[in-house]
Chains A and B, each alone.
Chain A
């Protein structure tokens, strides 16, 4: 699975307004909603589910990246949004360092394999320092889209 298959580029938040974890999650969920990817009135419920899961175990996986995610009956397909923060967000990450890049992933309940395929793709690229650095440096939604599309073409990015 490639980024272009599940990332909603219209929902990219190039500069997150909030700086706390829950606020960031709400901001990104509502951005996905504005892009028309979520059903009506489901916004709050999804954000609540992501936050709940995040409280149980942080998805801040170190090196400035967090991958909050949840499975949700309300979506039909795997959908993701990218959010960036130049100030850094406290995600209670394992390495106790702030998070600068957030990949929010919402997956349907009945297709667990698709979720894993998306995760596999995210893991593969996040292990490259260059990718993490480039992602953090993006200043606009277009930059993010360009980077992810380039990563789709070039597996060593």
Chain B
């Protein structure tokens, strides 16, 4: 039994056999053959190409109607490779010169090519290695007769294990058989995470070396609530998890019952619970779980996985759909929050030595005003459809907030000029997610209508910890006294300036922080939809007086450990099931 910790990106529990779908992990041993067998092996290589072309043709036909041009392009590229004589020749030459098996030759040559790509300095070209692994997989499937194991032909329940999921691998996912997803790489916005959430499959990513610990016959538990994957669990663990899974379902059911009830503390203080969403089709889930609006609508997905920048119309359609679901409830749209390290369509960037401290988010937008304008126009146009607010990420100083407002105003002028309707008094907010903005919140507050504290980045930047780096991720904690002092400052400054303040980071969805945040003066939380009922349950079980006491105690403590333990104990008393 092996327990791996990663990042939970899609909630739920699954227990199923592993299906490893990364060709990189097919370990093909070098096996030498007799000189007389070479002709047979070379014929096998040819047949594998022929078979792979046949399979791909079928797949292409099946996807003609359902998929976008991106998938079609990928298929077309693979097809060209399979038809490439010089590729085939390199493989058969190797069989001939070294007397090795077809499998070994295919695998060796394609990995040589893939590693050539991964070494390219240009990020976009180096990512193409994934295509080569896909082609290797197609050929090996032919040679190893692994068709049964292919995701496209599933017949039993499985947990998908991959290094990183490519669009082509997820294209054929069947909700009926794919019970869980776990990958070595990835984050909240990775392809695996997005697919998992949209299909409602429990998923954990960023597991580093999971694929090295799993083989095809292992049973795997994916705990998408806690970000844990267990390989080959013992009977006792399986039993525990079956119970946990049942309890989780029951708890969810029970919590769903409080959906209609207000989020009010026992002493009558009203708290507003909003949802964080990524896609417009998640908006429905927020309402279902009892959310009263959208406190954070991330818009990055509009830019990802595509060749061209999204058009104003595409932005507008997505926003309009979301707003139509929410009707008059608030929808806070956050402008593009991507790093230049991520792929963007407009420009190719030399890799930055320090992307987290580099040209990202609002900084990137302010240097690409044409692109920024497109999004601002769409948000403004959508502002007449409901209660739309606009929020700017990663503001670190007054100049930036001034600049974005200046540009927003210029864009308003353009709309005026074209007689396009928009809400001139649209509420403008900024994310407080760096120590600099937290420490200057008093002056930023005069310039905007609301703050939203992004606790994930605030914690990372304050503690100088990359939570995705497992060598230091244990240092990451929002319960660190440094982080909490900054949060307190921001809340106080917002109150003094009488502007709205909310928390939209992960902290808002973690039960142990609810009392503390209420005690520090927060009355609006924005969190992932599945967690809304549980957080509401806690709010309904406490008094603000209790919360104030918790906050007072915690702010007097000086170690993260002491604080975490205290908060966990306090929360356990309130809602034991959640821990």
Contact = CB atoms under 8 A, between A and B. Distances in A.
Asked whether the complex places CB atoms of A and B closer than 8 A, the reply is: yes
Interface of A: 57, 59, 61-63, 67, 69, 71, 94-95, 109, 112-113, 115-117, 119-120, 123-124, 126-127
A79 to B, nearest CB: 16
Given A61-B403, A117-B369, A123-B403, 8 more contacts: A61-B398, A62-B397, A112-B410, A115-B410, A116-B370, A116-B410, A119-B406, A120-B368
Contacts of A109: 417
Contact of A67 (B398, B406, B413, B443): B406
Interface string B412-456: 011001000000000000000000000000010011000000000
Given A116-B373, A119-B369, A94 B406 contact: no
Contacts of A59: 406
A71 B368 CA distance: 20
B409 A124 contact: no
B414 A112 contact: yes
Contacts of B399: 61-63, 126-127
A119 B414 CA distance: 15
B87 interface: no
Contact of A95 (B409, B411, B417, B443): B443
B415 to A, nearest CB: 10
A33 B368 CA distance: 31
B366 interface: yes
Interface in B333-379: 366-370, 373
Contacts of A116: 369-370, 373, 407, 410
A119 B409 contact: no
B398 A94 contact: yes
Contacts, number: 59
A123 B367 contact: yes
B562 to A, nearest CB: 39
A interface SS class = mixed
Contact of A120 (B369, B397, B443): B369
Contacts of A71: 410, 413-414, 417
Nearest to B407: A119
8 contacts: A62-B398, A69-B410, A71-B414, A94-B447, A95-B398, A116-B369, A123-B403, A126-B399
Contacts of B368: 120
A155 to B, nearest CB: 10
B370 A117 contact: yes
A124 B367 contact: yes
Contact of B402 (A94, A112, A115, A117): A94
A112 B411 CA distance: 8
Contacts of B398: 61-62, 94-95
B495 interface: no
A123 B372 CA distance: 14
A104 B367 CA distance: 20
A104 to B, nearest CB: 14
Contact of B370 (A62, A69, A95, A113): A113
Interface residues of B, number: 23
Contacts of A124: 367
A94 B406 CA distance: 12
A56 to B, nearest CB: 8
B405 interface: yes
Nearest to B372: A116
Nearest to A63: B399
Contacts of B414: 71, 112
Contacts of B443: 94-95
Contacts of A127: 399
A119 B373 CA distance: 12
Contacts of A115: 410
A62 B399 CA distance: 6
Contacts of A112: 373, 410-411, 414, 417
A75 to B, nearest CB: 14
A120 B447 contact: no
Nearest to B402: A61
A61 B406 contact: yes
B497 to A, nearest CB: 13
Given A62-B398, A62-B399, A127-B399, A119 B417 contact: no
B374 to A, nearest CB: 11
A152 B329 CA distance: 47
Contact of A123 (B366, B370, B410, B446): B366
A76 B446 CA distance: 36
Nearest to B409: A57
Contacts of B402: 61-62, 94
A140 to B, nearest CB: 27
A63 B397 CA distance: 11
B450 to A, nearest CB: 17
Nearest to A61: B402
Which of B367, B410, B417, B446 gathers most chain A CB within 10 Å? Answer: B410
A119 B403 CA distance: 9
Nearest to B406: A59
Contacts of A120: 366-370
Nearest to B366: A123
A124 B367 CA distance: 7
Contact of A57 (B367, B405, B417): B405
A156 B414 CA distance: 31
A18 B410 CA distance: 27
Given A62-B399, A62-B402, A127-B399, A94 B446 contact: yes
Which of B413, B417, B447 gathers most chain A CB within 10 Å? Answer: B413
Contacts of B446: 94
* 10 nearest A-B residue pairs (beta carbon): A116-B369, A61-B402, A120-B369, A112-B414, A62-B399, A62-B398, A61-B399, A94-B398, A123-B366, A109-B417
A65 to B, nearest CB: 9
Contacts of B373: 112-113, 116
A45 B373 CA distance: 28
Nearest to B415: A112
Nearest to B410: A115
Nearest to A95: B398
A3 to B, nearest CB: 16
A57 to B, nearest CB: 6
